[in-house]
Amino acid sequence: MKALVTGGAGFIGSWVVDYLVNEGFEVVVIDNLSTGKKENLNKKAGFYQLDIRDKKIADIFKNEKPDCVFHLAAQMDVRKSIINPVEDANVNILGSLNILNNCVANKVKKIIFSSSGGAIYGDNVEVPSSETEKEKPISPYGVAKLAVEKYLGFYKKVYGLDYASLRYANVYGPRQNSKGEAGVIAIFSDKILSGEKVKINGSGKQTRDFVYMKDVAKANVMALNLSGVFNVGTGKETEINQIFQKIKEIAGKGEKFHGSAIAGEQLRSCLDSSKLNKKGWKPDYSLELGLKETLEFFKNKNK
């Protein structure tokens, strides 16, 4: 079975590629390396450095004839999407449509889309949120993810393209960018290990649902046998203050200060994944185990 992975040089995408290769899939990656890194690429996977919006994507699909597509390539910075909604929509909507059109033209059997729970449900919802919650995205990034899900519904109905859309909670783990705006665990780990003080936005009582990237990679591969929309999270809410404390305990050091709260920042986010649990998926990693592996990665990276 041949899998094409967009964004396969990125944080989550590269773990999906590793998982697929281990399971015996033939894998090809498309990535423009805007945030992804060559060093993340699995040596057993083919690689095309190309933008998902490029017309040449058609040649890759024609030559490679993938059976299934994992679509992870995206502009994934929520704050950038607020500053420049047009560029966000360009990559996240038009780029995705280019991928969907090529799936149809080349009779791809299944597409697995990387969506976002936190960004799609928005604020003032039942927590943990299930897939039946009304979608209220509060950023252009969330609007674009929801739009692609709606397009997936359209492509399935009209062209018969089967899909699963995975709405992730906050994914963390090795290879996550620690220099960006998002990815609090990567940012805290890197800073604490290098002896820098960590800034917590506001009170630190904001909560998130942290799911380890290996569990997310497993969900992607399982989703080949699923159709529809599924949350991928642990159902456990953790305060940002607790995250700092846990990393400090594992690292044996760490200092923090509180900065001003970010206007409009979501206060609580946590996903109810019972729909996916019923299909046989459950996270293998506790937060403690995932944090230990993540810190180990950043320790070695900074050596």
CA terminus-to-terminus distance, the chain: 39
Catalytic residue among 141, 168, 212, 285: 141
Kindly state whether residue 32 participates in binding ligand NAD, applying the rule CB under 6 A: yes
User: Site for ligand NAD (CB under 6 A): which residue of 20, 52, 144, 224?
Assistant: 52
Residue 141: active-site member? yes
Residues 264-283 that bind ligand NAD (CB under 6 A): none
Are 140 and 153 in contact by the 8 Å Cβ rule? The answer is no
Minimum CB distance to ligand NAD, residue 233 (Å)? 10
Among residues 139, 170, 207, 231, the one that binds ligand NAD under rule CB under 6 A: 170
DSSP string, 94-112: IIHHHHHHHHHHTT-SEEE
| Complex with ligand NAD: residue 110 or 208, whichever CB lies closer | 208
Contacting ligand NAD (CB under 6 A), which of 2, 21, 26, 35?
35
Instruction: With contacts defined by CB under 6 A, name the span among 72-80, 100-108, 200-208, 243-251 that binds ligand NAD.
Output: 72-80
Among 21, 26, 51, 292, binds ligand NAD (CB under 6 A): 51
Within a 10 A sphere around the Cβ of 125, how many other Cβ atoms?
18
Write out the H or E segment, with its range, that includes residue 120.
helix 117-121
Q: Is 95 in the site for ligand NAD (CB under 6 A)?
A: yes
Q: Which residue has the tokens 């899900």?
A: 149
Angle, in degrees to the nearest 10, between helices 184-193 and 240-251: 40
Contact 60, 28 (CB under 8 A): yes
Q: How far is the CB of 285 from ligand NAD (least distance, A)?
A: 15
Q: Are 298 and 255 in contact (CB under 8 A)?
A: no
| Residue 133 interacting with ligand NAD (CB under 6 A) | no
For residues 52 and 194, give the distance between their C-alpha atoms in angstroms, rounded to a whole number: 36
**Whole-number minimum distance, CB 145 to ligand NAD, in Å?**
7
Residue with tokens 């180990």: 296
Count of CB atoms situated within 10 Å of the CB of 43: 6
Q: Nearer to ligand NAD by C-beta: 53 or 248?
A: 53
User: What is the binding site for ligand NAD (CB under 6 A)?
Assistant: 7, 9-13, 31-36, 51-53, 72-76, 91, 95, 114, 116, 168, 170-171
Residues belonging to the active site: 141
